[in-house]
Amino acid sequence: MLKKVLAGLGAGALLFGLSACGGDGDSGEGGDDALVVGFAQVGAESAWRTANSDSVKAAAEAAGVELQFVDGQQEQEKQIEAIRNFITQKVDVIVLAPVVETGWTEVLTEAEQAGIPVVLADRGIEDADEALYTTRLGSDFVAEGHSAGAWAAETFGADTDFRILELQGTTGSAPANDRKAGFFDELDTQGVGYTIVDSQSGNFTAEEGKAVMETFISTYGLDDIDLLYAHNDEMGLGAIQAIEEAGKVPGTDIQVIIVDGSAAGFQAGVDGKVNYIVECNPAFGDQLMDVVAQVANGDEVEKFIAVEEGVFDSTQFEAELPNRQF
C-alpha cells in the first residue's frame, strides 16, 4: 500500500511531497501517497499511555503518515483483532505496543506471511518471537528496575532486613516483568538484605493500585513496611491515597518509589509523598515515525532502540516539575 518510494527518508522528510495527516488521528488522512501505518496501542490506562498515544498521533500527522489507531483497552484479543484488520487492509507497517509478552506467535506469523513488517513500540515480547518483528523502540525496563534498586540499596543498605511492598504492572507485561527483575537483581548484586512482604499486580491503574494497597494495609499494617515500589505513577498515587486514609504519611512513614515521571507524580514528590522517580519517556512519536519510514524502506535498523530517560530524587522534584510534559 505504500505508494511512494521512501528511500532514505526520515519522518521530517516524509512531509515533502505528501499531504499532511489531519483529523483526530484515529484514522489519519495522509492522502493517496501516504505511508499507511496500523498502530495497535495497549489502551489508555495511564497518563503515560495517553501522552504516548498523543505523541505518536502528532508525529504521524506531522510526517504525513496515515495512522490507523486502535486502542486495545488492555486486552490482547483486541490487539490481535486489530492486527488482523491491519493485515486485511494491507497497511505498510504494523506498530504494536503489546499489552503482554506472550501469545503473539500466530498473529505475527500471519503478518510476516502477508509481507508486512512489524515494529514494536514501548513494550517487548518474548525472545522466542524475536524473528517476528523488525525492531523495538522503547524503554529499557530492566535498567529502570536497576535504577530503582540502586536508590533503595543506597537508602536502606545499612538495614539488614528492610521490608518491601511491590505494586507490579499488568501481569505478564514486559515493564512488570523487567522492572521487577532489574530491581531485585540490583539489590541482590549489592548484597542488600531485604524481605518482600508482598508483591501484587495493580494493572498500572490508580484504582487497582489503591485497592491492592488497601489489602496490603489490612493484611500487614504499615508499621513494619519500609518501602513501596510501584511500577508506575498511577498505582503509586492510588497507593498514596490508601496510605493517607490509613493515617500514615507517605514519603515519611514509608518511602515511595514510582516509575514514569508524570506531572502528578512529580507534584506528589514536591509534596513530600514520593521519594524517588524513575523516568519512563512516552514522547517518542517522532523517533517512531523515523523508524517506521526506515523499516518501510527496507533499511537495516537496530533490533532495540532505547529512548532517553533519567532518574530524580527529592532534591530535583521542584525544579523538574515545570518541565513535565504529561
Q: What angle do CA 271, 320, 227 make, to 5 degrees?
A: 50
CB-based contact 206:172 (threshold 8 Å): no
Stretch that binds ligand AHR, among 40-48, 105-113, 194-202, 298-306 (CB under 6 A): 40-48
Exposure pattern of 200-229 as b/e (b: 16+ CB <10 Å)? bbbbbbbebbbbbbbebbeeeebeebbbbb
Cα(243)–Cα(56) distance, rounded to whole angstroms? 35
Of 46-54, 85-93, 107-115, 247-255, the segment contacting ligand AHR by CB under 6 A is: 46-54
Question: Residue 45 or 226: which CB sits closer to ligand AHR?
Answer: 45
The count of residues in the chain is 326
Contact 89/36 with Cβ under 8 angstroms?
Answer: yes
Closest CA to 303 of 138, 180, 135, 58: 135
Q: Does 168 bind ligand AHR (CB under 6 A)?
A: no
Q: State which of residues 264, 280, 292, 293 lies at the interface with ligand AHR (CB under 6 A).
A: 280
Record the cell numbers describing residue 120, joined without a space. Answer: 514494536
What's the closest the beta carbon of residue 286 comes to ligand AHR, in angstroms? 18
Query: Which residues, 206 to 265, sit near ligand AHR by CB under 6 A?
Result: 232, 259-260
Task: Give me the least distance between CB of 122 and ligand AHR, in Å please.
Answer: 5
Mark residues 114-133: x for contact with ligand AHR by CB under 6 A, - for none.
--------xx----------
Which residues, 6+ apart, have CB-to-CB distance to 82 below 8 Å? 38, 40, 70, 72
Q: Is 45 in the site for ligand AHR (CB under 6 A)?
A: yes
Shortest distance (Å) from residue 18 CB to ligand AHR: 30
Distance CA(238)–CA(207), nearest Å, equals: 6
Q: What nine digits make up the cell of 75?
A: 486486552
**Single-letter amino acid, residue 112:** E
The footprint of ligand AHR on this chain (CB under 6 A) covers a number of residues equal to 12
Question: In whole angstroms, how close is the CB of 123 to ligand AHR at the nearest point?
Answer: 5
Q: Which stretch binds ligand AHR (CB under 6 A): 45-53, 82-90, 148-156, 210-218?
A: 45-53
Binders of ligand AHR among residues 258 to 277 (CB under 6 A) are 259-260
How would you label 110-141 residue by residue, b for 16+ Cβ within 10 Å and e otherwise? ebeeeebbbbbbbbbbbeebeebbbbbbbbbb
Nearest CB to ligand AHR, comparing residues 114 and 263: 263
Nearer to ligand AHR, 92 or 122 (CB): 122
Under rule CB under 6 A, residue 309 binds ligand AHR: no
Q: Which is nearer to ligand AHR, 246 or 306 (CB)?
A: 306
CB of 235 to ligand AHR, least distance (A): 8
**Given 36, 40, 46, 292, the residue binding ligand AHR (CB under 6 A):** 46
Q: What is the strand order of the sheet 304-306 is part of?
A: 66-71, 36-41, 93-96, 118-121, 135-138, 304-306
Residues found near ligand AHR in the complex (CB under 6 A): 45-46, 48-49, 122-123, 175, 204, 232, 259-260, 280
